Chains A and B, each alone.
Chain A
């Protein structure tokens, strides 16, 4: 048999049928959703890896506090990597008697591996793919302002004078965060020796930046592992890509979730449409059997037919997916500073594979029915093959969807948990659905017969019609409930994400940081600031201290090997003390200091500011993430060296905090009464209206030693990002809603012939258009209401689980959902159902009665 040609011709003719159209739409939506999100995430991932290389300054960055050995350089070069040296330190820079601490970055002639600097050398901002030349420095405009130095003049750095050759607008490798408070000065490595700044005991960080192909980096993996164990900080562009920030990470998760929801909905739509497709083709199959087609030929014919359909849907879906991802990128362009690589082939292949998988998983078992049809059906119409077992349908669909979950999440355990949870939910849903349907039908059955309003009669008749085909009604109820659940869940998560993002950066989020406020300036600073600032965080004292032992052992030996190069071990930490838990911090283990008051008298750590050197352990509160990296928990001890003294802290609590909050955050917090004896300064963050430069000027004049940092630009960028991510999320939500509507369409299409037959019978018995319309409306309303209630229950449970386990959001209830979903469900199903059966209601009863099973 020429199965290919025959199936293609068959499909062309079949395109007139509503179930084939429903199948096509569902498959196209599945492909569109998966390719759109796949394309977008793939391009984003590849773009960010490329960008990360630029931000890090190379594909591989090694950092330590002493120069790197020659044999290490040789090994890296032999592996095919190009090396660039860099030295970072903080030093005073002076000009005509003005002194200012600056963050020095000493670069060589290879710098930068990637990207360009944007520097004003007197002719406007230029893009330059190198660092400063020997004899010159490039400085941040802020440093020029503080020193009142102009381009072409010379500043003193250590023991040498260097000419200011440029003002840096942007460095190529700009990964410094808030820790780098001092303004930048870049100079050439050839001038370093003349400064005399690098001596034994100097606080200097040496960096070795390496660039090269992935294979070269991979080939030195064992060497890197050894370096990590030796306390060298190793950053690999693929492993240590700078974080996207919570907002985009959550958005990525949301997109993946929404994509899977769309695929699941499309699967349900495919399953519903396939039932009708198979019912409609039983006669064709029987006739073909009669004409001599074998079972294999039949299977081939229908399989090819659906494969053609899947292929056509894939082409349309992929085009939609490409357009969708372009729209997503357009929405996020302002955030993504680099050009992204073009779309890859993998997401397209994944999309087409998804369509095939959805077809096989959700339609396969039902399609087998066509193969089993008996030729005798041409003589005896009632000889339909038994429908596929519901268990088989669910089992195959679950297996395939589980496989897709695994494929998309890359996590088999998560996929298995979601799948088992989903199946358990489906089982529970079946029971609840049966009970709910029974309840509604009992209620409608008790409505008195023969009298009452049209509405009551319509409800009674509609309820009875549902009761007559209880099993099919229950199937529809479940499909609608799952659809409403998925639509509601994606909408709820979107709403809650937006609320969280809006709450994350309220209008009065601090846009300035003030650092280095001396204790004797503290009150005056607050007095000056208070009238102008809309909002201000507490003033946090800061003492710099280094971790010198963990649980009595050298830190490098006490932490896991992969954390030996951690910044927190190699640098001084900013330590603070607080009586109460700072705003934005959340205790995740242990107790805050005020709960430990009983211990105070014994330990004496809170007795006096100028007490004797501490010999007792003091409780400390540690940031949860750092404790995790160091493998520490409650009761572990850390020894800090502050100046020449040592303090032993015992972890009494662990805190979770939001690093994106634009507020001062601390890894380690002490209780009051311990650190006061050490030299300390204060830090605070506050919000000033955009135009209020008078206050800034007044603060700068009155407190020249205080560093003021304006983060308005960064804040605006983050707000912009949130707005764009919001739009992207809304676009994807639209796709999921479309997929949901396709399920409703497919389900109602599948049940159309039965409803038509029933309305034909009613018409024969004397029912008018109006009553039939009401009876159908009542049916839809009952189904919509019941499935809406079930969808709301599921959505509440699932979102709570998702928030806690995956999205790191606080669970919340949505009371309005219990009203809107049932009512909205009744309206939506009613509208689609009414529109679909409108033409058939006008049909003559004879035509309606003849339609069953043959349309």
Chain B
């Protein structure tokens, strides 16, 4: 059974006098354990698609199922409940809360679940991303790469089955970005997670099992050579 299944997904928004179609009649199926990269130019609608796939937004038309549950049958709270503990996120701008320490940031998604000993679990994951010594540091005391590593720990700490990543290296220099990519895929492999990421970084996309191009509101499969180019 696919972990994610979209059919005829369309997103239109009002733009003054006319309607703007961002995504048009788009289909996508993702199976457990897959890693899928969605590539596209700036403004192609990558983040909009990610928001729809993660159930953060509702499509104008079309159907979407996550873990076998039709999202259009659920309200906001129902979709949130579906994500709780099962979906992880990594953002371009890290989205760490500035008043929380690294440890507290990782603890945040665990507060919404009933896992045993969340402290130990969060410490363990921070150790895995190499930040065992920086638990009590606030985000502003960490470098960009370190902040993104905290975000990675936060995405995986709940034992998520599905991780969405939005331009995870977009705010990092190439060297740091490469280290973060290594770490992301190592954790993904280790945890057996399904990964859906949107990016315009071909180096990152190359590491995924499947690459899709988002253009003119539609998805199309990309040949390996296209990604390598």
Contact = CB atoms under 8 A, between A and B. Distances in A.
Interface of A: 1-2, 6, 9, 13-14, 16-17, 283-284, 287-297, 374-376, 378-380, 854-855
Contacts of A296: 77
B100 interface: yes
Given A6-B111, A13-B99, A290 B56 contact: yes
B104 A378 contact: no
Contact of B112 (A288, A295, A854): A288
Given A13-B100, A374-B56, A378-B91, A292 B76 contact: no
A379 B108 contact: no
Given A16-B99, A284-B97, A293-B112, A380 B84 contact: no
B112 to A, nearest CB: 5
A411 to B, nearest CB: 45
Given A2-B111, A13-B104, A376-B56, A294 B99 contact: no
Given A14-B99, A378-B95, A379-B50, A291 B84 contact: yes
B62 interface: no
Contact of B108 (A291, A295, A376): A291
A11 to B, nearest CB: 11
6 contacts: A14-B99, A292-B83, A292-B112, A293-B80, A376-B51, A855-B98
A263 to B, nearest CB: 30
Contacts of B84: 291-293
Nearest to B110: A291
Contacts of A6: 111
A29 to B, nearest CB: 24
B111 A290 contact: no
Contact of A288 (B82, B85, B108): B108
Contact of B85 (A14, A292, A294): A292
Nearest to A6: B111
A287 B107 CA distance: 13
Contact of B77 (A2, A17, A294): A294
Contact of A379 (B100, B111, B166): B166
A13 B55 CA distance: 30
B71 to A, nearest CB: 12
Contacts of B51: 376, 379-380
A292 B55 CA distance: 10
Q: Considering residues A17, A297, A375, which has the most beta carbons from chain B within 10 angstroms of its beta carbon?
A: A375
B95 A283 contact: yes
Given A294-B81, A379-B91, A854-B98, 4 more contacts: A16-B99, A292-B112, A374-B57, A378-B56
B153 to A, nearest CB: 14
B176 interface: no
Contacts of B86: 292
Given A283-B97, A379-B166, A292 B89 contact: no
Contacts of A376: 51, 56-57
Contacts of A380: 47, 51
Contacts of B111: 1-2, 6
A287 B99 contact: no
Given A283-B97, A294-B77, A378 B83 contact: no
B38 to A, nearest CB: 13
Given A283-B95, A283-B97, A379 B80 contact: no
Closest 7 CB pairs of A and B: A292-B84, A294-B77, A291-B109, A292-B83, A375-B56, A376-B56, A6-B111
Nearest to B198: A379
Nearest to B154: A291
Contacts of A854: 98
B87 interface: yes
A292 B77 CA distance: 8
Contacts of B108: 287-288, 291
Contacts of B57: 374, 376
A279 to B, nearest CB: 13
B69 to A, nearest CB: 13
A378 B89 contact: yes
Contacts of A16: 99
A16 B84 CA distance: 28
A293 B84 CA distance: 7
A17 B56 CA distance: 29
A13 B136 CA distance: 12
Contacts of B89: 290-291, 378
B99 A17 contact: yes
Interface of B: 47, 50-51, 54-57, 76-77, 80-87, 89, 91, 95, 97-100, 104, 108-109, 111-112, 158, 166
Given A376-B51, A378-B56, A292 B98 contact: no
A284 B108 CA distance: 10
A374 B75 CA distance: 12
A291 B112 contact: yes
Contacts of B95: 283, 287, 378
Contacts of A855: 98
B43 to A, nearest CB: 13
Given A13-B104, A290-B89, A292-B87, A379 B98 contact: no
Contact of A295 (B77, B98, B104, B166): B77
A289 B99 contact: no
Nearest to A375: B56
A299 B80 CA distance: 14
A379 B56 contact: yes
Contacts of B109: 291-292
A289 B80 CA distance: 6
A283 B82 CA distance: 20
Contacts of B82: 292
A296 B55 CA distance: 18
B14 to A, nearest CB: 15
B122 to A, nearest CB: 13
Nearest to A297: B112
Nearest to A281: B97
Contacts of A2: 111
A292 to B, nearest CB: 3
A297 B76 CA distance: 13
A471 B100 CA distance: 32
B70 to A, nearest CB: 18
Contacts of B54: 290, 375
Contacts of B104: 9, 13
B57 to A, nearest CB: 5
B97 A287 contact: yes
Contacts of B112: 1, 288, 291-293, 297
A354 to B, nearest CB: 29
Contacts of B91: 378-379
Q: Considering residues B47, B50, B55, B111, which has the most beta carbons from chain A within 10 angstroms of its beta carbon?
A: B111
Given A284-B97, A297-B112, A374-B56, A291 B47 contact: no
A374 B85 CA distance: 19
A267 B189 CA distance: 54
Nearest to A854: B98
Contacts of A1: 111-112
Contacts of B100: 13
Contacts of B87: 292
Contacts of A293: 80, 84, 112
A382 B50 CA distance: 17
A302 to B, nearest CB: 13
A378 B83 CA distance: 15
B97 A292 contact: no
Contacts of A13: 99-100, 104
A14 B47 CA distance: 31
Nearest to B84: A292
Nearest to B98: A854
A378 B100 CA distance: 17
A168 B50 CA distance: 95
A97 B98 CA distance: 98
A827 to B, nearest CB: 33
A297 B81 CA distance: 11
A753 to B, nearest CB: 12
Contacts of B56: 289-290, 374-376, 378-379
